[in-house]
């Protein structure tokens, strides 16, 4: 468990960026229109998700066009479509846990073939030339990564990216992942966000057999953290505030469950854990978890709370040389490494498949924490696209 393991290899030769156009092409510009596809998206913060028709770009030389089969539903999709993280451009099609098959490739694409099972996660581009990008850490691109939905795409005329609740997507080959043979497309989809978000800090901490990993919160992220840490050979301790989750944690492979509301149980867990993955997005006190860390331990916070949290005690950090850190998804090379790892160890997400008509109630159930553990949209249930694009 040596933090600072070697970084994944860079993506390749950086490209020179043309000056990005600031505004998207006008809606009636014929050259910008590509293939129309059915989608589910929001037209305003209060609209909920409704059927839309998207125009995907014609694949360029380096593009891969993908027929989407499944797309996971992430909590960030809810926040984004409902405008809870600041204003977003509408219409907005969310979805960044995408699995599908290659439909067409551009003339310069040699590493992907028609019919192959592939994935797309939270990133569809980055500057490709800053220090982070060259180290394979595109998620930390110094000029801002290009998210899979809801942001301007500088290499594509500043068009707003639209995500995976759709029939197709077109993505540069550098940001397309290979889904290993034999993986189930539906339960693999959530690995593209929930999986890599938990895998990356565990790898960064270099978790190995004999280490003790603590997981705070047992939702979409937490359940993946348990499975991946177990597959790495760690002993896993789940911290939960709800007694009802004890059996579920054990089913997922947790070795022990600590009820975080029970001061005696927390006291008994003192100085027993090497690394804690905290997935809770609501403000909460981290100090009880820091007390559970051994000398040289680390706590990685993955959930982004909407408001301030109680302060972390410097004394706790100092007295046992603890690290308090955050972590954001993972780079492309590391995401591929994670998929290969999950294929090798038989790790997949526990999912409930929903159809397009059920997306809005699935969102309500996610907010209520009523899903074990990830919803996945079956894109076969999308409507037929209309003849004119909405977005």
**Residues found near Zn ion in the complex (CB under 5 A):** 74, 76, 126-127, 130, 133, 141, 193
- Closer residue to Zn ion (CB): 69 or 125: 125
Task: Report the residue number, 126 or 336, with the smaller CB distance to Zn ion.
Answer: 126
Q: Which is nearer to Zn ion, 53 or 132 (CB)?
A: 132
> Cβ 169 to Zn ion, closest distance in Å?
16
Pairwise CA distance, residues 349 & 71, whole Å? 12
Query: Which residue bears the tokens 């581009």?
Result: 125
Cis check for the bond before 91: say yes or no (omega within 30 of 0). yes
Nearest distance from C-beta of residue 328 to Zn ion, angstroms: 11
Least separation in angstroms between CB 137 and Zn ion: 9
Report, in Å, the least distance between residue 285 CB and Zn ion: 25
Of the pair 126, 379, the CB lying nearest Zn ion is at: 126
190 or 385: CB nearest Zn ion: 190
Give the Cα separation of 308 and 330 in Å (integer).
25
| Least separation in angstroms between CB 26 and Zn ion | 29
Q: Which is nearer to Zn ion, 96 or 245 (CB)?
A: 96
State residue 277 phi and psi, 5-degree precision.
-105, 110
Place of tokens 């975080």: 260
Strands 98-105 and 117-120, bridge-based pairing:
antiparallel
| Least CB distance to Zn ion at residue 390 (A) | 24
Closest to 121 measured CA to CA, from 86, 55, 169: 169
Q: Tell me how far, at minimum, the Cβ of 134 lies from Zn ion, in Å.
A: 8
Nearer to Zn ion, 141 or 160 (CB): 141
Among residues 141 and 348, whose Cβ is nearest to Zn ion? 141
Least separation in angstroms between CB 327 and Zn ion: 13
CB closer to Zn ion out of 130 and 250: 130
Element (H, E) at 266: helix 263-268
Would strands 117-120 and 177-178 be described as parallel, antiparallel, or unpaired?
A: antiparallel
CA geometry: angle 214, 219, 225, nearest 5 deg: 40
Whether the Cβ atoms of residue 149 and residue 92 lie closer than 8 Å to each other = yes
> Least distance to Zn ion from the beta carbon of 142, Å?
5
Q: Which is nearer to Zn ion, 76 or 81 (CB)?
A: 76
For the chain, give the number of residues: 391
**Terminal C-alpha separation, the chain:** 47
CB atoms under 10 Å from CB of 251, counted, come to 12
Nearest approach in angstroms of CB 224 to Zn ion is 11
Sorted by sequence, the CB contacts under 8 Å of residue 91 that are 6+ apart come out as 41, 42, 43, 52, 390, 391
The DSSP-derived string for 131-180 is HHHHTT-GGG-TT--EESSSSEEGGGTTEEP--SSBSEEEEEGGGPEEPP
Two tokens, residue 339: 């998929």
C-alpha 223/C-alpha 227 separation (Å) is 6
């Amino acid at each position: 468990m040596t933090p600072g393991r070697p970084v994944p290899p860079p993506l390749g030769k950086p490209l020179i960026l043309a000056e990005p156009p600031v505004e998207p092409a006008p809606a009636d510009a014929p050259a910008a229109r590509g293939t129309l596809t059915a989608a589910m998206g929001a037209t305003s913060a209060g609209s909920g998700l409704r059927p839309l028709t998207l125009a995907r770009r014609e694949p360029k030389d380096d593009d891969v066009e993908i027929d989407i089969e499944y797309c996971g539903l992430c909590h960030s999709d809810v926040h984004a479509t409902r405008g809870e993280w600041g204003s977003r451009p509408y219409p907005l099609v969310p979805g960044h846990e995408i699995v599908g098959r290659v439909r067409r490739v551009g003339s310069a694409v040699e590493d992907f073939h028609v019919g192959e099972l592939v994935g797309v996660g939270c990133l569809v581009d980055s500057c490709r030339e800053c220090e982070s990008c060259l180290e394979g850490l595109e998620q930390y691109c110094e000029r801002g990564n290009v998210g899979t939905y809801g942001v301007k795409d500088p290499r594509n005329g500043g068009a707003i990216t639209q995500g995976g609740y759709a029939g197709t997507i077109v993505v540069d080959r550098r940001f397309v992942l290979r889904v290993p043979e034999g993986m189930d497309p539906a339960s693999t989809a959530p690995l593209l966000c929930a999986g890599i978000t938990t895998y990356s800090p565990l790898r960064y901490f270099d978790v190995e057999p004999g280490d003790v990993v603590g997981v705070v919160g047992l939702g979409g992220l937490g359940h993946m953290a348990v499975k991946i840490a177990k597959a790495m050979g760690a002993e896993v301790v789940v911290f939960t505030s709800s007694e009802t989750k004890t059996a579920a944690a054990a089913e997922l492979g947790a070795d022990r469950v600590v009820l975080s509301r029970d001061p005696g149980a927390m006291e008994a867990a003192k100085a027993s854990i090497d690394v804690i993955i905290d997935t809770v997005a609501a403000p909460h006190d981290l100090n009880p978890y820091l007390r559970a860390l051994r000398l040289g331990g680390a706590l990685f916070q993955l959930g982004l709370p909407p408001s301030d949290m109680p302060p972390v005690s410097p004394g706790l950090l100092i007295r046992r040389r603890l690290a308090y850190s955050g972590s954001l998804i993972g780079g492309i090379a590391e995401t591929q490494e994670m998929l290969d790892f999950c294929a090798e160890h038989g790790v997949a997400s526990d999912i409930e498949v929903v159809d397009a008509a059920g997306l809005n109630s699935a969102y309500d159930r996610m907010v209520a924490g009523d899903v074990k553990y990830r919803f996945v949209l079956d894109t076969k249930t999308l409507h037929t696209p209309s003849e004119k694009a909405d977005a």
